[in-house]
Structure 1
Amino acid sequence: MGRMISLTAADTHHFAAYEAGNPDSKHAVVIVQEIFGLADHIKSVCDELASHHGYHVIAPALFDRAERDVVLPYDQAGMQKGLALRAKIQPEDLLADVTACAHALNKHGHEKVGIQGFCWGGFVAWIAATRTREFAASVAWYGGGIAQVSHEKPHCPVQLHFGGEDDHIPHTDVQKIRADQPDVEIYVYDDAGHGFGCPDRPSFNQAARDLAHERTMAFFKSHL
C-alpha cells in the first residue's frame, strides 16, 4: 500500500523512508522502527494507520546511518546485529532523521505531527519529545532506555506503554519513569512481554496490542 521514498536530513544525510497514506489526510505521524530495521511489521503499522485511520505516515530507515537496506530477523542474531548498528548512530543523528520526516509532513500542510516508536524507536520517540519541538504528541511502546533519560522534560504530551513481563525493561525502570514524570500517561500490560505489539515476534499479545493501539489512537486524536 505504501511506497519507499528518499529524504534528506539537515546534515545532508540521505536516507530511505516508507510513506503511506494521502498527503491530504487530516492527521500525520512519524513511525519509528524497532532494533530490527524498517521491517514488514513497521510498514504494516504505517499501512494500518493510513487505511484504517486516515493518517499520512512516514517511517525512516534509521539504520541507513550505519548500513543501508538492513532488515534483521527476529532472533538473537538479528538483535545482536541490530545492537551493533545502533551503537554506531548518535542520538542527534536519530533526531535529525525523524525531524526530516516531520518536516516532510509539514510541507504537505500538516501543522501538527505525532511520533510513535517501538522498542528502540520508543526511546527515539521519547527523546524526540524532550530534545526537539517538532512533535505535537509522542507515543512509545516498550521503549528501552527511557529510564536513563526520564528526567528530561517533554515539550509535548507523551504516552508510554510497557509489558509487565518484559525481560528487557525491568519494573524498576517503569517506576523511575513514573516518579520522574507524574504527568505522563503510562500503561503496563501485566501479561505482555517485550515486543507484544509485533505479530512476527513470539511475544506477540493480541489483547495487549489491541488495547495499546486503542489508547494510542485516542491519544493522537486528542492532540493532533
Structure 2
Amino acid sequence: MSQTIKLTAADGATIDAYRADPTGTPKGGLVVLQEIFGVNPHIRRVADGFAAEGYRVIAPALFDRVKPGVELDYNQEGMGAGIALMGQVDQGKALLDVAAAVAAASDAGKVGIVGYCWGGSLAYAAACSVDGLAAAVGYYGGNIAKSLDRKPKVPVMLHFGERDAHIPMSDVAAIEAALPDVPVYTYDADHGFNCDARGSYDKPSAAQALERTLAFLARYVG
C-alpha cells in the first residue's frame, strides 16, 4: 500500500513524501533518498520494492522547499533542471527533511537510509549527523569523497560504478582509505547503474548491489 504524506521538519517547513507499506508487520523503517530527478516513478518503484521486502519506506520530496512536486525525466532537459534545483537546496535544511522522514519511519522499528546519486551523498551526510538511524547505504554519491572530514555514527555501505565518469576511482580509493571499516563495493558499470529508467542501467550490477544492501539492512535494521 502506498500514499503521499506530509512531513514537518524541525524548522516548521512542510514537504511531501511517498510512503510505501509492507504487507503485515514491518521489519523496520527505511528512508529512500532521491536522485536529482525528484521522487519520480523510478524512486516510487524503488520504495515499493523495499516495502515488498518488509520495510515501511518514506521517500521525502527533497526539492519541495525550492519547487514542490518535481518529477523529472531521464534526459538532458531533466538533468539540467535537476542540477539547477540541487544547487538551490540548502543541505542543512535538506537534512532537516531527512530527519523528519526518519522520525516518520521510526514507529516501524529501527530505521535505515538508502540514497542514490545526490541522495547517496545525503545518505552519507545523514549517517554523520542525523539521529535515529541504524544504518546507511549510499549508491554513487559524488560528494562523499569531499566529506571525509565527517565520520559516520552508524554502519555504512557504499556502492560505486567503475566506469562512472562523475566519480573517479581515485575518489573511491580515498573513501576506502579514510573509512577502512566501511564496505565499499565497485561494479563494472556506469553512474546510475541501479536505475532501470536510465541508459546506464546495468541489471547484474543492480541485482548484486541490492542483494548486498538487503543483507546489510537485515543485519542492522531488521
TM-score of the superposed pair, with normalisation by structure 1: 0.95
- Give matches, 1:70-85, under 5 Å: 70-85=70-85
Alignment match, 1:221: 218
1:160 alignment partner in structure 2: 158
> For the Cα contact (< 8 Å) 1:62–1:94, is it kept in 2?
yes
Contact 2:7 2:101 in 1 (8 A): yes
Q: Distance in 2 between matches of 1:114 and 1:50?
A: 13
Partner of 1:185: 183
State the alpha-carbon separation in 2 of the partners of residues 134 and 128 from structure 1.
10
Match of 1:212 among 209, 212, 222: 209
For 2:63, the equivalent position in structure 1 comes to 63
Displacement, 1:109?
4.6
1:179, distance to aligned residue in structure 2 (A) = 1.1
- 1:132 deviation in Å? 2.1
Note the 1:65-214 alignment, pairs <5 A.
65-106=65-106, 108-110=107-109, 112-189=110-187, 191-214=188-211
Equivalent-residue separation in structure 2 for 1:62 and 1:37 (angstroms): 7
**Alpha-carbon distance in structure 1 between the residues aligned to 2:104 and 2:70:** 23
Q: Displacement of 1:215 after TM fit? A: 0.1
- Deviation of 1:79 (Å): 1.2
Q: Contact 1:128–1:134 (CA<8 Å) still a contact in 2?
A: no
Using the TM superposition, give the Cα deviation of residue 50 of structure 1 relative to its aligned residue in structure 2, in angstroms: 0.9
CA distance in 1, matches of 2:193, 2:93: 27
8 Å CA contact retained: 2:31, 2:114: yes
Checking the alignment, whether the CA contact within 8 Å between 1:138 and 1:159 is kept in structure 2 is: yes
Kept after mapping to 1: 8 A contact 2:27/2:54: yes
- Output the amino acid matched with 1:198: C
**Unaligned runs of at least 5 residues, structure 1:** none
1:15/1:64 contact within 8 Å kept: yes
Partner of 1:30: 31
Specify every segment of 5 or more residues in structure 2 that has no aligned partner in the other structure, as ranges. none
Q: Is the 8 A contact 2:42 2:195 kept in 1?
A: yes
CA distance, structure 2, for counterparts of residue 79 and residue 134 of structure 1: 32
Q: CA RMSD in A?
A: 1.1
Deviations 1:98-127 (A, max 9, x none): 100111122x252x1000000000000000
Identity %: 46
The answer for the alignment partner of 2:47 in structure 1 is 46
1:69 is displaced (CA, Å) by 0.6
Secondary structure at the counterpart of residue 122 of structure 2: helix
1:72, CA displacement in angstroms?
A: 1.0
Deviation sequence 1:161-184 (CA, Å, 0-9, x none): 000001111111101111111111
1:24 is displaced (CA, Å) by 3.5
Aligned residue for 1:130, secondary structure, equals helix
- Aligned pair count reads 220
Comparing 6-15 with 73-82, greater Cα deviation is found at: 73-82
